[in-house]
A and B are shown apart, each in its own frame.
Chain A
Amino acid sequence: MTAAGAKISVQGVAKTFQSAAGDAVSALGEVDLDIAPGEFVSIVGPSGCGKSTLLNVLAGFEEPSQGEALMDGRPIRGPGPERGVVFQEYALFPWLTVAGNVAFGPASRGIAADEVAARVRHYVAMVKLDGSERKYPHELSGGMRQRCALARCIANDPDVLLMDEPLAALDALTRLSLQDELLRIWSEASRERPKTVLYITHAIDEAIYLSDRVVVMSERPGRIRRVIEVPFARPRAPEIRTDPRFHALTDEIWLLLRREP
């Protein structure tokens, strides 16, 4: 059932946690999902349904209790730089400046200092943080922090980007503008090598606007309720938000999410 050449392949992955009280909490039901190279896939689902758990399995932070997650056909064992992660809480290193944060990945992988500096310049400019290179994260606004986190992730040139509600902590206007930024940055970064994205959100419109496919999950323990193809061509412009098909899709997903299990 795995499509040959899938970038990411989730095969029967389920996760059960041991709660502090000792009983087993089934966080994620059995999930099967293939993501093609260069594809942008979003996951929407009720809170607590296991979205972050799935992402953590793909990032290599958690081991599945059942099934297997593959990248390029090889099982994922632990975190690695080929899978970049963007966290809702940014997770920037507060002791490093913007430039220091962006340099962290390349420098970790032993890239020469002048090449690291060139990458920092390039990606800082890409996320429009030039001029703020020497600022510390606490001096940035929420939107700037997430841009910085995005630059840090992409500067490491990962094949796969795993994003866990990266815009959820931002105000509505910043979120809308960052959605466009995100698409622009993704397509710029994908020029040399396609970048596959798994994007978690609880905002339906965000999922539709950004993605090629939207995966709708059920309540905990989350299973895939349906996978919806988004028909809009790229590059996408804000006008599609007023397209009747956009609303039809939003309603469809909304109903899926509301449906009793």
Chain B
Amino acid sequence: MKGNRIGNFCWRLALPAVLIAAWYYATEIRPMLHPTLLPSPLAVLRMFWKLLWNGELFVHIGASLLRIFYANLAALALGVPLGLAMGLFRPVERLLDGLLSIFRPIPPLAWVPLSILWLGIGTTSVVFITFLAAFFAIVINTIAGARAVDRLHMRAALSLGASRRRIMTHVVLPTVASYVFTGLRIAIGVSWMSIVAAELIAASSGLGYMITYYREALRTDAIIVGMLTIGVIGLAMDLATRRIEQWLMPWRTGYHLA
């Protein structure tokens, strides 16, 4: 089993290793491109150290992460009650479904111009755009969760003497919770994508801003540092939410296996 896992891990790393080798070859051993178009991996690594040691990278990572946090917090605070109300009560759903269906297909980035007009350039704008991305993922999943309450669980709870209130807290909520978590995982993914795009335009800090800043300075090595940082942090956040999910909802593994 363990050997298998190590083999699995090596297998995953194989392609990135080949890519880096090719990159190294094409830039250091037989330079084919101008360093402004594609700097060598060593140059990127040097730039990474520099941005790490002068603290710049941390400032941008911190700014982006904080915005992600606020945006998802707001998305949860608004999306979960709204999704619950829509999933459980038909009239609420009829009232809101049309509105939601029209706004949902609008990419968060299409809000950038309005958001800059209304909220100016800065954290508020970026949080707003990121919030929109996260919000829909959470609402949609919460609605699905509220509808996914198993009729058998409902019947079992009723014939065990559970009150409506207890059914709400002990049957509906646990069912919804796992859907909300799935929603949150998707939300963190999409908000991470849209925050970088929003920061490209509407901010003066954050990883997205860092990338535009160095584009204007033609520092491709710093751009690549920014991009790879985004990839690595995105991956880490996804792994972390999975871990938290396993810890908070140990029964969920059953669903995956079944």
Contact = CB atoms under 8 A, between A and B. Distances in A.
A138 B256 CA distance: 10
Interface string A218-257: 0000000000000000000000000000000000000000
A95 B155 contact: no
Given A91-B153, A109-B161, A153-B160, 6 more contacts: A85-B155, A85-B156, A89-B152, A91-B150, A95-B175, A137-B254
A156 B158 contact: no
Interface in A72-97: 78-81, 83-85, 87, 89, 91, 93-96
Interface string A105-121: 10011000000000000
B7 to A, nearest CB: 28
B234 interface: no
Interface in A130-144: 136-139
A80 B159 contact: yes
Interface of A: 59-61, 78-81, 83-85, 87, 89, 91, 93-96, 104-105, 108-109, 136-139, 152-153, 156
A59 B161 contact: no
Contacts, number: 76
A105 B170 CA distance: 12
Contacts of A94: 251, 254-255
A156 B161 CA distance: 9
Interface in B160-186: 160-163, 166, 170-171, 174-175, 177-178
A81 B152 CA distance: 15
Main SS at interface, chain B:
helix
B155 A79 contact: yes
A81 B159 contact: yes
A84 B159 contact: yes
A95 B249 contact: yes
A156 B178 CA distance: 28
A105 B250 CA distance: 22
B114 interface: no
B158 A138 contact: no
Nearest to A149: B156
12 contacts: A79-B155, A81-B161, A84-B159, A85-B159, A93-B174, A94-B251, A95-B175, A95-B249, A95-B251, A109-B161, A138-B253, A139-B254
A105 B157 CA distance: 8
Main SS at interface, chain A:
loop
A87 B152 CA distance: 8
B161 A105 contact: yes
Contact of B152 (A78, A91, A95, A156): A91
Nearest to A156: B160
A61 B159 CA distance: 9
B254 A59 contact: no
Contacts of B254: 94, 136-139
A96 B249 CA distance: 10
A108 B161 contact: yes
Interface of B: 150, 152-153, 155-163, 166, 170-171, 174-175, 177-178, 249-251, 253-255, 257-258
A122 B3 CA distance: 44
Contacts of B249: 95
Nearest to A100: B170
Contacts of A109: 161
Contacts of B174: 93, 95
A136 B166 CA distance: 20
Contacts of B162: 104, 108
A104 B167 CA distance: 11
B251 A60 contact: no
A78 to B, nearest CB: 7
A83 B33 CA distance: 79
A98 B12 CA distance: 39
A59 B154 CA distance: 13
Contacts of B158: 60-61, 78-79
Given A93-B171, A105-B161, A108-B161, A61 B155 contact: yes
Contact of A93 (B153, B159, B257): B153
